[in-house]
Amino acid sequence: MEPQKPVVFLQGVRLYLRPLEVEDAPCATRWINDPDTRRFLGNYQPLNLASERAWIEGMYTSKTDVILAIVLMDGHRYIGNIGLHHIDHLNQTAETGMLIGEADCRGCGYGPEAKELLLRHAFQTLNLWTVRSNTVAGNARSNGSLLKSGYKEVGRMPDRFFREGEWQDEIQWVITRAMWQARQP
């Protein structure tokens, strides 16, 4: 019997994005609880498998969120999640979030490649005009990856996050459709 073909929602060069499934919850639970990962994320409480499953299922009944699994073409390895949140069609805006959960897959440019697919979808399909992102100021890799994707810093909220005994600023980022289009070859 022929192996089943993968489900692909957005196709990239080294990776593709597919709908996130409840079966992905064990990986996502491992990633989101990992101390090295969660120090720059919003969650400070432990999150169990049931809460992760509920979060995934909730995304599909929400009209304001698009959540996708990042999968490498090579071996169809599931390495992270990416999403558009708080989609607001009146003001044509949304917020992006991303997690490359498998630590050995960070620093390989997979984040920016996945982000490019998501931005194309946001601007060319969903007809959004601005896409925003917020980071903890000390998250150098996340800041670097947003710059690489063409976002610009538009603001800072001082002492927005308390992390590992220290106050950290929030950096607010934005990319508009015009900025994104100007970067296209």
Q: Which of 25, 106, 116, 117 binds ligand COA (CB under 6 A)?
A: 106
Q: Within 13 Å and on the Cβ side, how many CA atoms surround 103?
A: 8
- Of 29, 93, 142, 176, the one binding ligand COA (CB under 6 A) is 142
Contacts of 164 (CB under 8 A, 6+ apart): 39
d(CA 118, CA 96): 9
Q: Which amino acid is at 19?
A: P
Binding mask of the shown chain, residues 25 to 64, with x at each position contacting ligand COA by CB under 6 A: ------------x--xx-----------------------
By CB under 6 A, the residues from 112 to 141 that bind ligand COA are 112, 135, 139-141
| 148, 152, 156, 183: which one binds ligand COA (CB under 6 A) | 148
Write the DSSP assignment of 121-171 as a string of letters. IIIIIS--SEEEEEEETT-HHHHHHHHHTT-EEEEEEEEEEEETTEEEEEE
77 part of the interface to ligand COA, by CB under 6 A: no
CB of 54 to ligand COA, least distance (A): 21
Tell me, what DSSP letter sits at residue 106?
T
Per CB under 6 A, does 96 bind ligand COA?
Answer: no
Residues in contact with ligand COA by the rule CB under 6 A: 37, 40-41, 98-100, 106-112, 135, 139-142, 144-145, 148
